[in-house]
Amino acid sequence: MRKLLRVAAVLVVFALVLSGCGGGGGGSGDSGDVTQGMDRKIVMGYSQIGAESEWRTACTNSVQAAAKEWNIDLRFSDAQQQQQNQLQAIRTFIQQKVDIIAFTPVVETGWEAILKECLDAGIPTICVDRSIEGSDRASSNPSDMSDPDNWFTAFIGSNMEDEGNRAAAWMMANVASIKPGKSVYNIAELQGTVGSSAMTGRFKGFRDALGIPAAQALGTSSDGKYSIILSQTGDFTRAQGKQVMEAFLKSNPNDIDVLFAHNDDMAIGAIQAVEEAGKVPSKDIIIIGVDAVKGAFEAMVAGTMNASIECNPLLGPQVMETAVKILNGQTVEKWVLSNESDYDQSNAAEAYPTRQY
Ligand code: GZL
């Protein structure tokens, strides 16, 4: 019996050593303990804006899932829409000596000092989704530190001006068939978070396509057919989108032909206000959003929303791949552009079942 116990004990120790749990294990030779494409496990700090919309939640889910997939230790911070919280989180990441920092700037201004602190600490940064003031996501002279594009290593995200352009293009191609016989179409606009690159880009892109100066909130297109008569921020949320649309309908009960909302969440809130005012959304008032989130597909399939311009939140894989390239010393594009399409009631039902967000 004693002999049997001795043999069993040897076998147990042997098994433990093989599995790497025999003390002193963890990491050496255990393939699960290194980041894909690296010889060690890297630590990333990520400062996310908050959870204001379906889009933001999808973006967060994508980043967190991709960090798991790449075996990256992700230190995630939710700033609850406050830039001060973002600056504090990034300073903490610097103190923790993380390998790389990703951040989504809630507004475009106020990033020079913190990004230079990252540079001084030798920590590369990736700007995710929204961009910073003065950045055109191209760097002609990498040593020119007056160029904001040299304060961070790479930008991953959409072209917001293009999204505004595409919203105007869809509107000009479709309004006459939905509301025929009008010489002028009056537009109400729900702006996103004031000062965010998503808001400034869509605001400018929409006006550029209509020939309205980007500095003007209200104005009439160069061909005289489209007039922006109302424009106010709904801060990218359903609740505020509804509130502002209620106010629009109170002040202009019968003037609005088109709503352009800088994101689907505000459009969906506005649809509730349109219905409560006794009007038919997507017929009396044409509803155009941006993001192409599930809520927009449900509304387009239900016939209460006309179109949504896609803005891809599934940025996680590109963030992780870019981080590994940077830490491996590879050169990366200054702008890793997302791929996007546009959806309306002609293609929403077909696309909806396979949507990932
Ligand atoms: C766009 C992103 C915007 C979305 C909104 O890239 O920053 O912020 O359009 C989200 O839904 O709140």
pLDDT the model gives residue 337: 85
Give the per-residue pLDDT at 32.
67
The answer to whether the 34-158+313-338 and 160-311 domains have the same CATH topology is: yes
Q: Which atom of ligand 1 is nearest to the CA of 157?
A: 6
- Alpha helices of 20-150 — where are they, by DSSP H? 54-70, 83-95, 112-120
State the pLDDT at residue 30.
42
pLDDT digits (tens, 9 = 90+) for 4-32: 666 555 555 554 444 333 333 333 334 46
Q: What is the pLDDT of residue 340?
A: 85
Mean pLDDT confidence for 26-55: 84
Helix (H) or strand (E) holding 78: strand 73-78
Q: Rounded to 5 degrees, what are φ and ψ at 219? A: 165, 170
User: Residue 263 Cα, ligand 1 centroid: separation in angstroms?
Assistant: 7
25 or 276, which is more confident?
A: 276
Residue to substitute in 47, 49, 56, 127 for testing ligand 1 pocket (most ligand atoms within 8 angstroms of CB): 56
Whether 122 contacts 66, CB under 8 Å: no
What is the rounded average pLDDT of the residues 299-322?
A: 97
Task: Identify the CA nearest to 172 among candidates 343, 288, 301, 290.
Answer: 288
- The stretches of the chain forming alpha helices (DSSP H) are 2-19, 54-70, 83-95, 112-120, 160-178, 197-210, 238-251, 264-276, 294-302, 316-327, 348-351
pLDDT > 70 fraction of the chain, expressed in percent and rounded: 91
Alpha helices in 179-237 (DSSP H): 197-210
pLDDT mean over 63-85: 98
Dihedral of alpha carbons 150, 152, 156, 159, sign = negative
Atom of ligand 1 nearest to the CA of 313: 6
Task: Give the closest residue (by CA) to ligand 1 atom 3.
Answer: 198
Range in 6-20, 142-156, 209-223, 232-246 with the lowest mean pLDDT: 6-20
Confidence of residue 339 (pLDDT cuts 50, 70, 90): confident
Q: From the CA of 143, how far away is ligand 1's center (Å)?
A: 31
CATH superfamily of 34-158+313-338: Response regulator (3.40.50.2300)
Q: Whose CA is nearest to atom 6 of ligand 1?
A: 129
Please name the residues in contact with 204: beta carbons below 8 A apart, sequence gap of 6 or more: 161, 164, 214
In this structure, the residues whose C-beta lies within 6 A of any atom of ligand 1 are 52-53, 55-56, 129-130, 157-158, 198, 236, 263, 265, 290-291, 311
Q: Are 105 and 127 in contact (CB under 8 A)?
A: yes
Pick the more confident residue, 357 or 23: 357
Strands 154-157 and 125-128: parallel
d(CA 31, CA 27): 8
Distance in Å, CA 39 to ligand 1 centroid: 35
Average pLDDT, the chain: 92
Q: What is the mean pLDDT of residues 137-166?
A: 94
In this structure, the strands spanning 73-78 and 100-103 are: unpaired
* pLDDT at 245 > cutoff 80: yes
Give tens-digit pLDDT for 56-70.
999 999 999 999 999
Enclosing H/E stretch for 155:
strand 154-157
Task: Note the CATH number of domain 160-311.
Answer: 3.40.50.2300
Look at residue 236 and tell me whether its pLDDT is greater than 50. Answer: yes
Under 8 Å between Cβ of 99 and 42: yes
Percent of the chain predicted with pLDDT > 90: 87
Helix (H, G, I), strand (E, B) or coil at 227: strand
- What separation in Å is there between the alpha carbon of 219 and the centre of ligand 1? 25
Query: Domain boundaries in the chain?
Result: 34-158+313-338, 160-311
Mean pLDDT score, 247-260: 96
Tokens coding 240: 């505020």
> In angstroms, rounded to a whole number, what is the distance separating the alpha carbons of residues 189 and 167?
12
